Amino acid sequence: MKVDSKDAKLALAHIYVAFTALLIGGLAGLLQVFVRSGAFELPFGIGYYQVLTVHGVLLGLILTTYFIMGFQIAAVSRTAGALSSTQRKLGWIGFWLMTIGTIAAASMVLLNEASVLYTFYAPLQAHWIFYAGLALVVVGSWIEGIAQIMRYAQWRKQNKGLTSPLLAFMAVVNNLMWFVASLGVAIEVLFQLLPWSLGLVDRIDVLLSRTLFWYFGHALVYFWLLPAYMIWYVVVPKVIGGKLFSDSLARLSFMLFLLFSIPVGVHHQLTEPGIDGFWKFLQVVLTFFVIVPSLMTAFSMFATFELRGRELGGKGIVGWFKQLPWKDSRFLVPFIGMVAFIPGGAGGIVNASYQMNQLIHNTIWVTGHFHLTIATAVVLTYFGAAFWLIPHITGRTLTGRMNSLANIAGILWGVGMFIMSGAMHVAGLLGAPRRSEYSTYGGSEQAAEWISYQLAQAIGGTILFISILFIIGIVINLLWFAPKGEEEFPVAEATEGSGKTPAILENFKVWGVILVALILIAYTFPIFEILDNSPAGSKGFKLW
């Protein structure tokens, strides 16, 4: 019932890097909102876009990827059994490749040779080491994912005819989605960005590079999100003393995410010339299919909450709600994330809508949106998981004092994000651009309307950084100072009478064929047209 001790060391190594990235990336985010307020200038010649790149890469790519891999390794070990020595060795190889790549990419950003932002859009050109470093991060994550899949396949072989452990199944789905999606950015880096940044070619096809990036970029959001869903589906019900509402529903929702998270990247390019309107419309339609498994998840979670609340004596329409364990940070902190995902998801519908996107495209509304979805729903769920995962694998306990501090940190995060993200949404509707430093735009009357909202962003960002300091302190305590003891890795069982899980939900061949078909339908003609009608391309620019 525990994570194997050798697997725990591998998981713990990822957690060290993840929370180091949180501290540095969070500080960079604080400096960003200070600069955008107009009341602060960066010292020592540090550039705003340099800080923006640090924030985006460390929190958007490094924190998430390391935590996900660490959590999934622990989840597979806990539910499908300890990794074999070969599988564990692959895990360590992947970890060190990722770490070498992270150090290489970070070095270039700190040297101001790669201030190309989180999306590293061409024709902004970074040093080739930056691109090579990110490629190593992706390759390392592939190797770690393969180790997890091998353990799952071994369990299936040893337990023929049985339904596989749900957490291990979910980890496999997330890894498969990551493999398929990251092929896009791997092709972009290896065949476009690296030769171009090395000077082997003079020009780059900007539209093709962005299309390959967003083939990867939107599925990346679900790579971040699905581990949070793993925790919502499997861990949180156990934390509140309940059971998983339906094993079949959980597996079906994950398979639907696998199908519909990848062939939708063009909805990030609705204002991009060079892509025919029909293919944009098709991918918008496919994007709206992703709403279905999200609604399935919301139904499953609140059904679980109500059933448990009524077991504990809750009466009436909302009486059950009062019975939930609101003082338990393992529940409260992820629950704040769940609530934030409601307006975050609604904003996603706006972003993906053909007409409404015209109003908010490339405004700071979009930044506010993904701070609700990823930086709140996902990251708060990761934090809530860390409060039991770290002591579980270090042999310590979450004390009452640390639990109270964790609740304070979660509430501070929710308040800070409400202020910051809310201001971003409103300023975006007023036309404030994203990715931009503080500017009055030559005394523009419209730009003057944004200033008060940028001040609010600085206030919200400050509260968020205070929350980060609380969380780092809790993590340090759980790693080295908390009392020795046993902390549970919560895994919920399915509700009795929920029925046997259909075997087709674990038939990856069937779902894989459907996935490949959808990708070919959504991307074959757009990429062919891009290649057929490509201009000469752009030379590289370094504007910092």
Residues annotated as catalytic are: 218, 222, 369-371, 434-435
Angle, CA of 516, 517 and 520, to the nearest 5°: 85
Contacts of 427 (CB under 8 A, 6+ apart): 363, 364, 365, 450, 453, 454, 457
**H or E element that contains 76:** helix 64-80
| Pair 484, 396: CB distance under 8 Å | yes
Query: Looking at the chain, how many residues does it have?
Result: 544
| Pair 506, 87: CB distance under 8 Å | no
Contacts 24+ apart (CB under 8 A), 305-310: 305/240, 305/242, 307/242, 307/243, 307/245, 307/495, 308/237, 308/240, 308/241, 308/242
Q: Residue 136 and residue 128: Cα distance in Å, rounded?
A: 12
| Pair 544, 112: CB distance under 8 Å | yes
Angle, CA of 491, 493 and 494, to the nearest 5°: 140
SS3 content of the chain, % helix, strand, coil (to 5): 75, 0, 25
Q: Residue 178 and residue 415: Cα distance in Å, rounded?
A: 32
| Pair 530, 186: CB distance under 8 Å | no
Could you identify the residue written with the tokens 């409260």? 332
Q: Residue 474 and residue 488: Cα distance in Å, rounded?
A: 18
Q: Residue 399 and residue 420: Cα distance in Å, rounded?
A: 31
| Helices and strands in the chain: count of H runs, count of E runs | 21, 0
CB atoms within 10 A of CB 274: 17
> Which tokens hold the place of 171?
């980890």
Q: Which H, E and C letters describe 258-308, residue by residue?
A: HHHCCCCHHHHHCCCCCCCHHHHHHHHHHHHHCHHHHHHHHHHHHHHHHHH
Burial call 286-325: b when 16+ CB within 10 Å, e when fewer: bbeebeebbebbeebbeebbbbbbeeeebeeeeebeebbe
